[in-house]
Amino acid sequence: GENVEQHPSTLSVQEGDSAVIKCTYSDSASNYFPWYKQELGKRPQLIIDIRSNVGEKKDQRIAVTLNKTAKHFSLHITETQPEDSAVYFCAASTTGNQFYFGTGTSLTVIP
Amino acid sequence: GAVVSQHPSWVICKSGTSVKIECRSLDFQATTMFWYRQFPKQSLMLMATSNEGSKATYEQGVEKDKFLINHASLTLSTLTVTSAHPEDSSFYICSARDPGGEGLREYFGPGTRLTVT
């Protein structure tokens, strides 16, 4: 089955700096890669996703890049704010099948 | 995004009793729902895939007789933890696959915190 690895497990950045979280996957058939943000005690919220036919997608301060050849994708958050502090999960899946989640990255934005 | 509700949000029960958790998709019909378990500071662990009108598919190591799943309609799936024990205490989260947009996006319920005493 699919194996998704996520790094780093913890990340601290100064407010206004950028944060980058990286994930790798093993199954070349995976074609959908969402990113979720989870605040303590709350549900994971979909923040951005990308399909395998696209190399990059941006939504305001958040962007995701995908390298299909290398089987890795990354989340980029620019101009970080304290409210960006949360745990971020990446996932990979093939259409119609289950999501395989990374182990999560705890992001802390220091004011 | 699509809305998924879950009820109850928290429950405390005694050892040996059963607890039912409901998951509803409020603004779309979900042929597939998922049940996850999450321990503190850990990732989501898929327990089972719930398909409307058919038996759930359980992940390896998940006891199907202990965690009963029923997907009675296109908007409702239930998870019943039978004969609960303290080790079943956890955060249980459901999700539903939105069939729109090629059925790729998955939205999570708010979770249910189960404490078994």
pLDDT digits (tens, 9 = 90+) for A37-79: 999 889 999 999 999 888 999 999 999 999 999 999 999 999 9
Asked if B79 and B94 touch (Cβ cutoff 8 Å), the reply is yes
What's the pLDDT score for residue B31? Answer: 82
Q: Which two tokens stand for residue A43?
A: 């549900």
The half-sphere exposure of A95 on its side-chain side, counting CA atoms within 13 A, is 9
Determine which helix (DSSP H) or strand (DSSP E) holds B48, and give its type and residue range: strand B44-51
- Least confident among B28-32, B81-85, B108-112: B28-32
pLDDT digits (tens, 9 = 90+) for A77-97: 999 999 999 999 999 998 778
Determine which helix (DSSP H) or strand (DSSP E) holds B103, and give its type and residue range: helix B100-103
A46, A89, A96 ranked by CB distance to B105: nearest: A46
Q: Which two tokens stand for residue B67?
A: 């965690």
Q: Which two tokens stand for residue A5?
A: 């690895």
User: What is the count of residue pairs from A and B with beta carbons less than 8 Å apart?
Assistant: 48
Interface residue A50 vs chain B (CB under 8 A):
no
At residue B103 the predicted structure's pLDDT band, cuts being 50, 70 and 90, is low
What's the pLDDT score for residue B117? Answer: 96
Q: Which two tokens stand for residue A107?
A: 């992001």
pLDDT > 80? residue B70: yes
Q: List residues of chain B with CB under 8 Å from any CB of chain A.
A: 1, 34, 41-44, 46, 49, 93, 102-111, 113
CB atoms closer than 10 angstroms to residue A36: 26
Task: List phi, psi (to 5°) of B86.
Answer: -50, -35
Q: Please compute Rg for chain B using Cα positions.
A: 13
Asked if A69 and A20 touch (Cβ cutoff 8 Å), the reply is no
Complete DSSP assignment for B1-35: ---EEEE-SEEEE-TT--EEEEEEESSS--SEEEE
What's the pLDDT score for residue B11? Answer: 97
pLDDT > 80? residue B100: no
At residue B102 the predicted structure's pLDDT band, cuts being 50, 70 and 90, is low
Residue in B closest to A48 by C-alpha? B105
Q: Which two tokens stand for residue A68?
A: 């299909």
Testing the interface with B: which of A33, A36, A51, A98 to mutate, by most B Cβ within 10 A?
A98
Q: Which two tokens stand for residue A7?
A: 């790094």
Asked if B15 and B84 touch (Cβ cutoff 8 Å), the reply is yes
